[in-house]
Amino acid sequence: MARTSQAGRSGASMWPWLAWAVVILLADQATKTLILGNYRLGDSTFITSFFNIVRAHNTGAAFSFLSDAGGWQRWLFTGIGAAATVFIVWQLRAHPGQKLFSFALSSILGGAVGNVVDRLMHGYVVDFLQFHYAGWYFPSFNLADSAITIGAACLILDELLRVRRER
């Protein structure tokens, strides 16, 4: 007799979550294409007193971690992104009915794939959102990074809610 997966029992499907990841990926790549087509490296446009659009290249990870490591980090972070993709799709397949959990994972998936595409195509991640205040600049980032951050926050919230329900 065939085993029924949780997805089969709940009637939920992972496809809407994969579609959300694709929406994030497409939005991320579209905005990066606009930046690459309209800005040279280092160009910046003042938007408000605390926000700029700027073209920056990040060969490292978050906050430019390992950006000056000599090139090997490109393949390390691409491999991590590929492994994360496999793990997330496996989790989405196993838990599609857990809405907050699946939203979080699919947001991370879309962002991770967006940054992997950049690494494979350019050798760096295109960043362009820059917040600043009184001479202090937060490291530039992109839509993929935003989706990963929102997804991570939702994962934490999901776990806190799960623990609370179990009490």
28, 118, 145, 158: the catalytic one is 145
Tell me if residue 127 is catalytic. Answer: yes
Among the options 28, 118, 127, 158, which is catalytic? 127
Kind and range of the H or E element at 104? helix 99-122
User: Which residues are paired to 45 by β-bridges?
Assistant: 53
CA distance 11 to 126: 39
The single-letter code of the amino acid at 139 is P
Tell me whether residue 118 is one of the annotated catalytic residues: no
Alpha carbons 117 and 119: distance in angstroms, whole number: 6
Active-site residue list: 127, 145
